[in-house]
Amino acid sequence: MITPYDPPQDPLEILHEDADMLAVVKPAGLLSVPGRGEDLTDCLIARLAVVFPNVLLVHRLDRDTSGVMVFALTPHAQRSLSMEFETRRARKTYLARVRGKLEPREGTVDLPLTVDWPNRPRQMVCHDTGRPAVTDWRVVSYDEHETRVRLMPRTGRSHQLRVHMLALGHVILGDPIYAKGAAGDYPRLMLHSEELRINHPENGRGMRFRTTAPF
């Protein structure tokens, strides 16, 4: 079940700012870009535009996911950064809490994904029409009924991490779309974009942005 849109009013958290780009922290519950309808206009890029009128979109995070995002401040930077994601040079690391004991301690999910049209925005595994999707995982720690795990997606499909964990039988806790019963009874989706590595759009220098998960 998708909850009503009531975005948090956290102040902007800027990790990095220069003439070409921004790195910021998106809070959980806030859209990256406007949704359809007047009630979905409040979003991270709109808030950034108040301070940085030239801000341009490079990539997105799901509404319920928190963590690092980068934005461009020039058209050249937007093209360069977008290409980093399209060609899979950008390196993303997420932290998640999932139901149950995920074993073995590390591995790879290679399952193609496509939209579940009758149940949009749900996505699903489909070997016939799905687009390639690959996620590496590495367990951080175990609790009594859950696992804390780092997820390193090699591709960037919609809901990729959420559906891949579900396919393994370890749904991400607090997921308003895929979790059922007690697994969904959490104050937020337990998924956080912890680290992003890219090359600077102007000088090519390797850059690493990181923010600690709030859960």
Domains in the chain and their CATH numbers?
Answer: 93-191 (3.30.2350.10)
pLDDT at 42 over 80: yes
* Mean of per-residue pLDDT scores for the chain: 96
For residues 27-35, give the mean pLDDT.
96
- Residue 21's region, left for phi above 0, alpha for psi from -120 to 50, else beta, is beta
**What whole-number distance in Å separates Cα of residue 113 and Cα of residue 80?**
27
Tell me the pLDDT tens digit for each residue of 109-165. Answer: 999 999 999 999 999 999 999 999 999 999 999 999 999 999 999 999 999 999 999
Q: How many CB atoms are located within 10 Å of the residue 74 CB?
A: 15
> Between the CA of residue 108 and those of 42, 103, 113, 146, what are the distances in Å?
36, 11, 15, 19
Which of 62, 64, 110, 136 does the annotation list as catalytic? 62
| Residue 128 a catalytic site member | no
Shortest CA distance to 188 belongs to which of 172, 199, 201, 204?
172
Looking at residue 4, what is its pLDDT?
A: 85
Of all residues in the chain, the percent with pLDDT exceeding 70 is: 99
